[in-house]
Chains A and B, each alone.
Chain A
Amino acid sequence: MVSLVRWAWSVALTLLGLALVTFAMTRLSPIDPALQLVGDHASQSTYQQARQELGLDQSLPIQFLHYLGTALSGNLGQSISTGQPVAKDIARTFPATVELATVAILIGAGLGLALGIAAAMRRGTWIDSLCRLVSLVGYSVPIFWLGLLMLLLFYARLHWAPGPGRADVVFQYSVKPVTGFALVDTLISGKAGAFLDAIAHLALPAGVLALHSIAAISRLTRASIITELGQEYVTTARARGAGLWRVVFVHVLPNLSGTILTVVALSYASLLEGAVLTETVFAWPGIGRYLTTAMFAGDMPAILGATLVVGTAFVLLNALTDIGVTWLGARKTR
């Protein structure tokens, strides 16, 4: 119970820190929000009025409290480029990002675990070298460039994959958006063609985005299994006649569940972040592309709103992982 309170306290502090950083950016920015709102040709009095409405005439601590209060009430300001409330824009675009990142982490965790386990069990063989190569390349490749090359190969040359975007024009307006997740929406619409189309559009960007998590997960899985295989309990089990498969799947992997959960969750959080570049390449209408569009337009409320929301999701995901790992550890000792 005490640890839960301490956990909540540290999460709250981190989120407060995040809000402080985004707030500091608005104050450090060379862009004057009042001037951006009223334009260059506004009179001095209109400008002063805009400053007052934005609360810019107050002291910094008061401004920060005001900023926190409005953000907590779900008001992230008005986007300058779309003319909509930023919160509404984000609610519209965030599901696409979550969908992309979720499919990517499923691919990443599946392939990463399989590769890491295989490499650890067959050390020094070709599969071990493959694991090392995949993780080295996965850590080194610029994801936006890989995305472009995949589009070139699978869309333009081989015609295996559909082009950028999230759905064909045919389905874009015929499927009703209920949840905002294309896979779910097309599935409940009952149109098999639309569902397959959604999968086809997801495959390339999710595959590209997954590479980094395959690298991270396979490398860590391999290293931890190898360390664990050196433990005494493994030697004992092997001496009693247990095969390598049995030892790895019955003894070692359950012991590593906390470690594996941590790396998968960390990758998932970083995928939310990495989606910014991937979405830009694949014209994926998620929060990442919203963010980059806002950057080009110098749309400060949208940039900071999106940063705050994705950042909060990132922090919360990591914090929940801590809880999950603690819970797994507690269950093991029981």
Chain B
Amino acid sequence: MSFSFHASLDDAPLMRRALRSPAATAGGTLILFVLLLAVFAPLIAPYDPDFQQVASRLMPPDATHWFGTDGFGRDILSRIIYGTRPTLLLVLVVVALMAPLGIVVGILAGYFGGVVERILMRVTDIVMSFPRLLLAFAFVAIMGPGLINGALALTLTSWPAYARQARVETSALGRSDYLAAAEMVGISGVRLLWGHVLPLVLPSAIIRLALDLSGIILAAAGLGFLGLGVRPPTAEWGSMVSEGTQVIFDQWWVAAVPGFAILITSFAFNLLADGLRDVLDPRHD
């Protein structure tokens, strides 16, 4: 991935280059759509997602309830729309924690070298070879279910990839005239790392992030499915699939619809990442 930051130094901005890839455009559009659903959920959702109407429970999809109703008579479409919120929130928290943590570790290791680098990279390698999903499940099971614990669990096991990448790029930069020039005019310490190293490490971290996001969405859904996500009755896609498990053979839509929402969202991030890589990484064509 060491090529990608050169690519981003090209004239065309990232956005316009990404638009040249149909896959990235399609993925980006889908993600934008999900984002809009999350922001405007109260305006879009036809019903209150938590409103229970026992008289109309487990109704098949029809004109009043497009995706049918669940075991409590709640409108599934409305719950899908509101379900975008915990999913995207978790993704946001993980991204905000994981990438900075990894990048900081990587830049420090690459910039200082020596013992600091040896220790930091040893820890990185160790965490990198942990079973991520399994530790995340165990962590949440023990610390208690919930969105924050889920995000923490995924963060604690997923930062090493960013650290490795940032270290490689930082130590390559360390030998460059660019940094030597910056140091010569008296820029040093945190200011040098923040203003001159970070901007060059960031683009490839962003591609990496796009690649990781679909996995994070699936892991979050898995947590929800196992009952380790946000607490009921809050609508969350993974736990909605789990609620539909008991009636899967008769009222299949209760589990099928939220699972499809997970698939589409995760698919959108994969499309975006695939497209971005096609455009930005010259080794792929």
Interface residues of A (CB under 8 A from B): 10, 13-14, 17-18, 21-22, 25-26, 28-31, 136-137, 139-146, 148-149, 151-152, 156, 223, 227, 269-270, 272-274, 276-277, 280-281, 291-292, 294-296, 298, 300, 303-304, 307, 310-311, 314-315, 318-319
Interface residues of B (CB under 8 A from A): 122-123, 125-127, 129-135, 137-139, 141-144, 214-215, 218, 221-222, 225-228, 238, 241, 244-245, 248-249, 252, 255-256, 259-260, 262-263, 266-267, 269-271, 274, 283-284
B138 near A145: Cβ-Cβ < 8 Å: no
Question: Which residues of B sit under 8 angstroms from A148, Cβ to Cβ?
Answer: 241, 244-245, 248, 255-256, 259
Report A215 CB to chain B, min CB distance, Å.
Answer: 10
Question: Which residues of A sit under 8 angstroms from B144, Cβ to Cβ?
Answer: 30
A140 near B227: Cβ-Cβ < 8 Å: no
A10 near B131: Cβ-Cβ < 8 Å: no
26 contacting pairs across A/B (C-beta < 8 A): A14-B130, A17-B126, A17-B130, A21-B135, A22-B138, A29-B142, A30-B143, A30-B144, A137-B263, A137-B267, A139-B270, A140-B267, A142-B218, A142-B262, A143-B218, A143-B222, A144-B259, A145-B260, A145-B262, A148-B259, A156-B249, A227-B283, A303-B142, A314-B131, A315-B129, A315-B131
Total A-B Cβ pairs within 8 A: 145
Question: Which residues of B sit under 8 angstroms from A151, Cβ to Cβ?
Answer: 248-249
Report B29 CB to chain A, min CB distance, Å.
Answer: 16
Nearest A residue (CB) for B250: A156
- Bound complex: CA of A12 vs CA of B228, how far in Å? 31
Question: Which residues of A sit under 8 angstroms from B238, Cβ to Cβ?
Answer: 142
Question: Which residues of B sit under 8 angstroms from A310, Cβ to Cβ?
Answer: 131, 134
Question: Which residues of B sit under 8 angstroms from A273, Cβ to Cβ?
Answer: 131-134
Partner of A295, one of B129, B215, B226: B226
- Bound complex: CA of A319 vs CA of B128, how far in Å? 12
Nearest B residue (CB) for A138: B270
Residue among B142, B238, B256 with the most chain A CB within 10 A? Answer: B142
Question: Which residues of A sit under 8 angstroms from B214, Cβ to Cβ?
Answer: 139-140
A277 near B226: Cβ-Cβ < 8 Å: yes
Report A290 CB to chain B, min CB distance, Å.
Answer: 13
Question: Which residues of A sit under 8 angstroms from B225, Cβ to Cβ?
Answer: 142, 144-145, 277, 280
